[in-house]
Structure 1
Amino acid sequence: MRFMFKTDYDDDIRLFPHRGAVVCYALLLGLLLLAPSVLGSYFLSQLVFVCIYAIVGVGLMILTGFTGQASLGHAAFLAIGAYTTAYLQQRGVPFPAYFLAAGLLTGMIGALVGFPALRLQGIYLVIATISFAFIVEEVLARWESVTNGNDGMRVKAIQWLGQSVPRDSAAFYYLCLGVLVLTVVGALNLLRSPTGRAFIAIRDSETAARSMGINVARYKVKSFAISAAITGFAGCLYAHKLSFISPEMFTLQLSIEFIMVIIIGGAFSLHGAVLGAIFIVMVDPFLTYLKDDVPTVIAGIAATFGAGAARAAAIRDAVAAFAAANGLKGAIYGLIVMLFILFEPLGLYGRWVKIKLYFQLFPLYKRATFKRQKVYVKSERNR
């Protein structure tokens, strides 16, 4: 069991709470650096998508998890970053320049979206961000002179320091991993700063934040801008990974997947963005396994327990038809979200914290340690 005594303000804002955390993160980083030499091309590609989704999750976490502003329009910010990349690359702009341009332009557009959103809260803010996503999707489809319309745009491999960085190479994986690490470290430092603490104060209570002298409007716009800029950087990597982009790729479903990243991972910790990204990206391999291998396994089990060949084949065909049914992925997503909201609202990282605390305090752990407190409606708080 570890006891931590904080004696000054620096202890409270320390980047690593103790030396054990430094060792754990160093080991994790070492394993990730060794991944290209151990994993095959398919799993390495999945790790790249995990990094990209985690970057978007960190950006969305700053806006939703730490500032309390809901958004279902982050697929639009990803699209802006991706199309900025494709457009500037076709005009011979080098990679570092258009990578920064993708983030900066997306951040400025995010700030513009943040201004009209200042007077909106809750479901109305969600509707506004959905409308923004539809507008961006329509602009990308209609502005053919820039975006090539529904025909889409090709994105070539990164050219950096005279070398080509293909999308399936280990170098591209290291690039995505490096951007993710820098994004997470930057977000941690942001949250330790007065700006980050203002974000959290706005999330907890806008009235209390105003009473402490925080300019709520300015920090909300700043949160939108920072979140959009991070998503724009991810959009640049996303475009290079797919090598082809079109408006149909940046739909509302993609925004919902980004929301699920922080819901499943945990909406109040940057660890949750990474865990949620791993979970969401690995759903597709699971569905592929469910569709290709599980029917044969179930048929074999049925034959073992006395089912005839005809009945085993019928069971295999039924399971295969179920696995290949349209909308199965959406149904699994919906079921997962409902289960997490009902039984683990703190997400995967919250469950990990509970497990870790259980072993730290064993046998003195109490089940009521994380019991949710009663929440009062606003009209009851002043009674």
Structure 2
Amino acid sequence: MRFIFKTDYAQDIRLAKHGGHLFWYGTLALALLAAPWLFAEYWLAQLTFVLIYSIVGLGLMLLAGFTGLFSIGHAAFLGVGAYTEAVLVNMGWPFPLALLLAALLSAAVGVVVGLPALRVKGIYLGIATLSFGFIVEEVLARWESVTKGNTGLHVAAPSLLGQPLGSGAGFYFLCLAITVAATLAILNLLRSPTGRAFVAIRDSEISAQSMGIQLARYKTLSFALSAALAGLGGALYAHKLTFISPDQFNILQSIDLLLMVVIGGLGSVHGAFLGAIFLISMPQVIALGKDWLPAAVGQAPGLQAMVYGVVLIAFVLFEPMGLYGRWLKVRTYLQLFPFYRRGMFKRQKTFQKSERVR
């Protein structure tokens, strides 16, 4: 078992807590850099989708996992970023500028959506964001002069510094660089007073307000940052698909995104990546498993939705901390063996919730 003796504050907020972190994350970085030479084109494309969904997952994790505000219409921000990128690039705008504007416009839309969060929360906030998702999908379908409506819109290939990136190894390295930058930005944000304010709002709005935290400001900021990352991911998503249509950003996409962060592990940056891996790999696993199932089951049209539902219910009932929570338990078991106690991670009941005092 590793014991870390901290002697100053800088050591406490350091991203890499010990040498093991540097070794394993360095190994992961080398593996990701070598991926175009290690994997076939198909699997490299799947890894690119994992990186894109991880960017979106980081934004939704910031909103739901660290601020406690759930959005059931997050695919709308994905669509705003995708269509903004597609329209601007097709008009001849430089790729970096179009990418920046896609994130900024999505953030502006996130501020507008975040305004209802100042008055509602819980299921009512979910209904508000769900309604916004339907509105955006309808706007994308009806604004045919810009979005081409339901016929869809082709997206020009991106180019950086005069070099076309296409959708292969060059585009993969671009997504990898943006994912690393977004991850470092989120990690540093969570160490700042703003990130601590987000966590305080998640734990108890009344306690946070009593400490001088402005709820309106930080809730709106959380929505804006989450929407900006979703728009950034949507812009990359549009280039990867090369063709987008409004039905790609519907309620099912929003549910997939929410499923991603819940199964990955709410309240952890690692959970966004684990959830993205699950979201991309699960359809591949189901497709491979169909050959081993009876024809009546394997060819059923709702098999994937049923598997997703069963997996989500299983995680909610038996592993609320998600995949990252399960990894923490396995790691702790290996570190403490043979002194691991079964009830070490059992959630304790609390009777001091300030939310009850109203």
TM-score normalised by the chain length of structure 2: 0.97
Give the Cα separation in 2 of the matches to 1:348 and 1:216.
31
What is residue 338 of structure 2 aligned with on the other side?
363
- Cα gap change, 1:220/1:42 in structure 2, threshold over 3 Å: closer, same or farther? same
Contact between 2:264 and 2:324, CA under 8 Å: does it hold in 1? yes
What is residue 102 of structure 1 aligned with on the other side?
102
Give the Cα separation in 1 of the matches to 2:141 and 2:317.
39
What is residue 124 of structure 2 aligned with on the other side?
124
Q: Would you say 1:212 and 2:211 are equivalent positions? A: yes
The CA deviation at 1:126 is 0.3
Structure 1 residue matching 2:327: 3-state secondary structure = helix
Structure 1 residue matching 2:164: 3-state secondary structure = strand
Give the Cα separation in 2 of the matches to 1:219 and 1:326.
43
What is residue 38 of structure 2 aligned with on the other side?
38
Alignment map for 1:1-383 (pairs within 5 Å): 1-167=1-167, 169-291=168-290, 293-295=291-293, 319-375=294-350
How many residues in Structure 1 have an aligned counterpart in Structure 2?
Answer: 358
Structure 2 residue matching 1:232: 3-state secondary structure = helix
Contact between 2:206 and 2:354, CA under 8 Å: does it hold in 1? no
Contact between 2:204 and 2:355, CA under 8 Å: does it hold in 1? no
Gaps of 5+ in 2: none
- Cα gap change, 1:381/1:125 in structure 2, threshold over 3 Å: closer, same or farther? closer
Give the Cα separation in 2 of the matches to 1:223 and 1:142.
29
**Which segment is superposed worse, 153-162 or 231-240?**
153-162
**Which segment is superposed worse, 372-381 or 238-247?**
372-381
The Cα offsets for residues 285-308 of structure 1, whole Å up to 9 and x where unpaired, read as 1122123x325xxxxxxxxxxxxx
Gaps of 5+ in 1: 296-318
What is residue 314 of structure 1 aligned with on the other side?
none
The CA deviation at 1:14 is 1.3
The CA deviation at 1:6 is 2.8
Give the Cα separation in 2 of the matches to 1:102 and 1:128.
23
Contact between 2:204 and 2:354, CA under 8 Å: does it hold in 1? no
Amino acid at match of 2:334: F
TM-score normalised by the chain length of structure 1: 0.91
Structure 1 residue matching 2:3: 3-state secondary structure = coil
Identity %: 57
Give the Cα separation in 1 of the matches to 2:228 and 2:127.
21
The Cα offsets for residues 154-199 of structure 1, whole Å up to 9 and x where unpaired, read as 00211222221111x1111111111111111110000000100000
Amino acid at match of 1:206: E
Give the Cα separation in 1 of the matches to 2:327 and 2:352.
30
Structure 2 residue matching 1:76: 3-state secondary structure = helix
The Cα offsets for residues 254-301 of structure 1, whole Å up to 9 and x where unpaired, read as 11111111111100100011011101100111122123x325xxxxxx
The CA deviation at 1:382 is 5.4
The CA deviation at 1:10 is 2.2
